[in-house]
Amino acid sequence: MKKKRLQTILSFLSPEDKLIDVGTDHAYIPIEAAKMGITKILATDIHEHALESAKENISKSHYPFIETKLCDGLEGIDTKDYNTLVLAGMGTSTIQHILKKEKLESIQKIILQSNHDLENLRRFMNELGYTLKDEVAVEEGGHFYLCMCYVSGCEVLTKKEILFGKKQKKNAFYYQYLIKKYESMMESVPKEKQKLLKYYIETLKTYIL
């Protein structure tokens, strides 16, 4: 498990949370959450081999109360018993497939970490009625991860916030990385796309002022 990314996800949790970790894989997040004092935890995965690994790690841990379930997303789960979700290490389209409004009535907090298509993810969460409380960028092993914490409640995000999140000093290194990335793409893309990249770069420069 990548340490900084895991620590950042865990930093959004509180001992009173009632947690479902969707797509748990090795159950690292539930086990660490139990160490923090969370006592109601369900670890789920769609793949049998992943859930077997989760079960094995849970049985070896000091937290046998962590429950497990083999399922697609939240299917077959009575979410009323929980108030917090973690969906980490998944693509935006999978997250969108899993977060169905009728399953979220009791869910106060959703922690997300997707590697792709963050613009669509922010728009989706905004339309779902969640407020972007915090976003923390993490660099680990040469990769950049953005960990998002949403809480229930509506807000209106600007076009720029949908694109790059809320401006935060602590994420300046991440904005710099994006600027460099877009600059390096400039030569190899068609004119139309260049215009868009320029807009991204100019916007990001305002983020690090």
Q: Is 56 in the site for ligand SAM (CB under 6 A)?
A: no
- Please state the closest distance from residue 187 (CB atom) to ligand SAM, in A: 32
- Please state the closest distance from residue 203 (CB atom) to ligand SAM, in A: 29
- The whole-angstrom distance between residue 71's C-alpha and the CA centroid of its chain comes to 19
Instruction: Pick the closest to residue 87 from 157, 20, 165 (CA basis).
Output: 20
Choice between 70 and 163, CB closer to ligand SAM = 70
Instruction: Pick the closest to residue 68 from 86, 55, 87, 83 (CA basis).
Output: 55
- Angle among Cα 113, 114, 115 to the nearest 5 degrees reads 125
Choice between 23 and 200, CB closer to ligand SAM = 23
Q: What is the total count of residues that contact ligand SAM (CB under 6 A)?
A: 19
Say how far apart CA 113 and CA 188 lie, in whole Å: 29
Q: Is 25 in the site for ligand SAM (CB under 6 A)?
A: yes
Say how far apart CA 189 and CA 19 lie, in whole Å: 43
Choice between 60 and 100, CB closer to ligand SAM = 100
Residues in contact with ligand SAM by CB under 6 A are 1, 22-25, 28-29, 44-47, 50, 72-73, 88-90, 94, 98
